[in-house]
Amino acid sequence: MSRFFGRRDTSAPQDDRPPVSELAQPPSYGDAPTGEPMEDEKISVVVVDDDDDVREMMMMALDVGGFEAAGEAADGPSALWTVTGSQPDIVLLDLHMPDTNGLELLPELREASPKTKFVVFSAIGATYMTEAAIQAGAIAFIEKGVSPRSILRHLERVHSAGSASMIRPYPLNREYPAEGNIRGG
């Protein structure tokens, strides 16, 4: 008997298989109902920080969090080279590095990768530094000391915002609320 989703196919020979036109397309890789983003939809991030431990921790967090860790750099020249080559969705940029200031580097990075969103990641959370970073072209500012989980949630918000939108982090000394508790987007 030839049945597929409750319909009888009278054109099929005495074969129990439905016609090819009625078969559902097989899922592509990454379509599994795991809640994980598809491979093509991963947010690519480059981490620029002179501290090896910070870079390593962020690269691991990005990987575990389902992001594409597109590269890392410890100084201005390698940051420019890495960002130019990878054209990531987001750059997480430290302000204070030995050879260059992140605020001075930011315009060069923006010119090298105009579609990239830049998020300053600094231990200095002073209002004037946040404003200077935004004026230099950053779309957001995260103070170091925030948990990796909160940073990843913030990067997701930055990625989903339009390029003209500025996103201020959730209070920097607290975690983001659980997904179901986020109000107002």
pLDDT in tens, 124-175: 766 777 888 888 888 888 888 888 888 898 899 889 876 544 444 555 444 5
Q: In percent, how much of the chain has pLDDT > 70?
A: 64
Residue 33 CB contacts under 8 Å (≥ 6 apart), including other chains: none
Q: State pTM to two decimals.
A: 0.68
CB-CB contact of 79 with 73 (8 Å): yes
CATH architecture of the domain with range 41-162: 3-Layer(aba) Sandwich (3.40)
Tokens 């054209």 -> residue: 87
More confident residue, 166 or 122: 122
pLDDT at residue 83 tops 60: yes
pLDDT at residue 7 tops 90: no
pLDDT at residue 97 tops 80: yes
What is the average per-residue pLDDT within 49-68? 94
pLDDT at residue 77 tops 60: yes
Q: How many CA atoms lie within 13 A of 28 on its CB side?
A: 4
Bridge partners, residue 96, by sequence: 101
Domain boundaries, the chain: 41-162
